[in-house]
Amino acid sequence: MGVVGRILDLVFGGGRNVVAETAEVFRQNAEKGAAREHDLRGATLAQFGGEFRQTNRGGFDRVMDGINRLPRPLMALGCIGLFVATMVDPLWFAARMQGIALVPEPLWWLLGVVVSFYFGARHQAKGQQFQRDIAQGLAQSAQVVDAISQIERLAVENHTPDHEINPALADWKRSQS
């Protein structure tokens, strides 16, 4: 083996690729980086999903959830009911509104605070539930991505020019030529 052969064997041979190893000092190996990123994302999503997994809830919690769902629909239906009452019996409605006009202003402020806190807390609870649902969906996304890539790989492997995936499309292609 000549001098050039020994130099090339030293640089590229012997089970090591000195050029690639040197280049990886300055630039990440894309394939290995993608594998590390995939593993990191999968582990992160699994941990995130595990933290927010919903446990079985008891009967009391379910009843309280049902009660907590009542105020908004009742307020909406009450407002619609006021419009209906106005049309059905305007004098009855006017008498009730005169009674509401007698409610002192501090009581209106108190009602505003109670309603604001209720809807604020409800908004926060629903927002957290939404985040838990998103986390659970994200935890499954790695599995979905893997399944889709397997399906696409199978579709590519099984697709040959003489074997069309869609017979109707094959007939249309033949009619166009």
Reply yes or no on whether the pLDDT at 136 is more than 80: no
Report percent pLDDT > 70 for the chain: 84
Boundaries of every domain in the chain: 1-51, 55-102, 104-177
The burial class, CB within 10 Å (0-12 / 13-18 / 19+), for 81 is exposed
pLDDT of res. 55 = 66
DSSP 3-state assignment of 164? coil
pLDDT of res. 78 = 92
What is the model's pTM?
0.36
Helices (H), the chain: 3-12, 18-26, 30-51, 59-68, 71-88, 90-101, 105-158, 167-176
Closest CA to 115 of 85, 80, 78: 78
First to last CA, the chain: 59
Per residue in 158-173, pLDDT tens?
665 555 567 787 788 8
| Token pair belonging to 33 | 């980086």
